[in-house]
Structure 1
Amino acid sequence: MVDYEHFDCDLLIALPDTELISASELTGGLTNRCWKLTLFHPSINQIKDYVWRPFSASAQAFGIERQHEYQLLSMIADTELAPKPLQLVASVEPSAEKPTQQVIGLVVEWLPGVEATTAFSNQTLCQLQAKVHQLPLPWWRLDVHQRAEHYWQHLHTDHHTSSLFSIYHFFQSQPLPVAFDDCCCHFDLGRYNVIVPSTDDDSITRAKIIDWEYAAAGDPSLDLAMTIIANVLDIEQAVHDYCDYRALINDETVFNKQQWLTAVIAWLPWCQYLALLWYLVGYDLWQQPEYLQQALQLQQQLIQYINSD
């Protein structure tokens, strides 16, 4: 496939009423290398900032669909919880039989502000998680077995050690610990994906969430487990904060915290399993030693988990 991770101004030819002023590569993204764009809109005589989110070799390896991201951002545009999408960008791929369109990226609005710090409290983060779970349900869902299989197919065979095979076969043969009905899940709600007006802002009403590329329908306790791991939260306190806020916004007098705690704990090794394969795919793509280091640590933890099961 063509690598659209490196920005080319010709890619924006499909965008109406836009003139490119500048483009600069953003740092910090793990899955993708995105770009900040400054565009001029002649019809309204305004300059606005956007983010170019490519469909690249890395996005394909991680199982990301920009169409899904665009559809969800369009569905939740009125919530002010996420960046609004400008347009899905596609190119025409020539074919001997019939030309086809290939999605090459997504342009979304740039959100002013800063990445949330620990001043954005754990409690507020769990409340933000609960708000995500109230959003409209996407029509696509995350199946952990299928996602793990996708990662496995994109691994270099050098990683196929006996330990990794043991982990892979163990989890792929186990039933998923699904506990609750599907809802909208972000599946990457780290503070690194929360934008606030200032570093000391702890207001849930002003917080916005970026990087919805992994978002899908799924078990909310799985999403909460991923958030707990990503932010190194205390499990019991996080479940407590989440359940209290869910009960508040749903106007429910009874919310079984023990049921939620049990469900979250059941998902934790599955989160580690997905993370292990994710880091190995990332290492194959970018050859960054820290990816391999993270993967080896997770592999050791999961071998211990399997042997103690």
Structure 2
Amino acid sequence: MAKIAWAEACQLDPTLLSLTRFFDVPPTYAETLAGGLTNRCWKVIAPHKGSFVWRPITELTKAFTISRFQEYQILKAIEHDMIAPNAAYINDQGLLVEWVDGELFDDADFDIQIKTLVRIHLLDKKRIPVAPFNYTARVDHYWMQLDAKLKDEALVELYHQWRSAPALDPVELTLCHFDLGPHNLIKTPQGLSVIDWEYAGIADPRLDLAMLLTTENQLEPTNVARYCQLRDIDNIDGWVEGVKQWSIRVHIMALLWYLLAFQLRGDPVYEQQAIQIKENLCK
């Protein structure tokens, strides 16, 4: 992280100026935070108020259908559950959340991540005033933004084959994080804190479980069974099949995400990730 004087930081990112109303005394400095493509955030250190993370609204967040206002609503709804940082301030430039002081999660016990996901899924979704996640709408949004030159025959076929949600027995929707993993888990004296809720929404929990297991290379029936055990779910076979069906679509969303990231940023790393996913899906 690079420490930058507040005035200079505001010149680099004018959205920081919108925090003037929140801070009685201007912050001392800000630090750039390393993160993903859509997570170009700042750590803001202010006299008397402490440390915060500024999560701005940018053209990139819009391109990936990220709503800071929805993120704010979710964080406010679960602030008493002691699982996420508190939302401090929201405006039309971005979201300010409390800084979580701790260490990145580095425990090799994958069961802890499954337990954390279960904890999220058991939160009271009735308190969260957001519309349910729509898989097809999200895939279509990514697709429509892609340049025609990126849409080769194989990609077109994959898109049309997998753009619809799987036909599964319905389950109760839950709050889903959609980016759970060690990179978004902070160890604190009070326990684990989950950060970066920008993709979170109300959705089929089998999709969220498929995302975790797929991204962490843990897509095994035993892990699905463990999740079901923790939630007292009897239909384990049905959940194994549901997670399997959603895992394919997790790859489709990731493929389109990386292609759009490559289009917006031009970084060949994103293109290489997309090519690898497409090759695996075509097999």
Structure 1 residue runs without a partner (length 5+): 41-45, 90-102, 199-204, 248-253, 305-309
Deviations 1:65-122 (A, max 9, x none): 1110000000000011000000102xxxxxxxxxxxxx210000000112112x2511
2:18 paired with 1:11: yes
SS in structure 2 opposite 1:181?
coil
Tell me which amino acid in the other structure corresponds to 2:115.
Q
Specify the alignment match of 1:65 in structure 2: 67
CA-to-partner distance for each residue in 1:105-157, whole Å, 9 max, x for gaps? 0000000112112x251111101100000113233221110000111122122
| Alpha carbons 1:279, 1:294 under 8 Å: kept | yes
Q: Which of residues 98, 110, 113 is equivalent to 2:99?
A: 110
8 Å CA contact 2:23–2:46 kept in 1: the answer is: no
Closer/same/farther in 2, CA of residues 171 and 5 from structure 1, 3 Å limit: farther
What are the within-5 Å matches in structure 2 for residues 290-305 of structure 1?
290-304=269-283
Unmatched segments (≥5 aa) in structure 2: 1-9
Given candidates 239, 242, 262, the residue that maps to 1:263 is 242
Secondary structure of the 1:107 match is: strand
Moved over 4 A (4+): none
Give me the whole-angstrom Cα distance separating, in 2, the residues matched to 1:132 and 1:191. Answer: 15
Q: What's the TM-score once normalised by structure 1's chain length?
A: 0.82
How far apart, in 2, do the equivalents of 1:18 and 1:228 lie?
45
Deviation at 1:13, TM superposition (A): 2.0
1:147 to 114, 121, 138: 138
Matches within 5 A, 1:1-309: 7-8=13-14, 9-15=16-22, 17-40=24-47, 46-89=48-91, 103-117=92-106, 119-137=107-125, 138=128, 139-172=130-163, 174-178=164-168, 179-197=170-188, 206-247=191-232, 255-304=234-283
Identical aligned residues as a percent:
32
Deviation at 1:234, TM superposition (A): 4.1
Higher-helix-fraction structure: 2
Query: What amino acid sits opposite 2:250 in the alignment?
Result: C
CA RMSD of aligned residues (A): 1.9
**Whole-angstrom CA distance in 1 between matches of 2:271 and 2:11:** 22
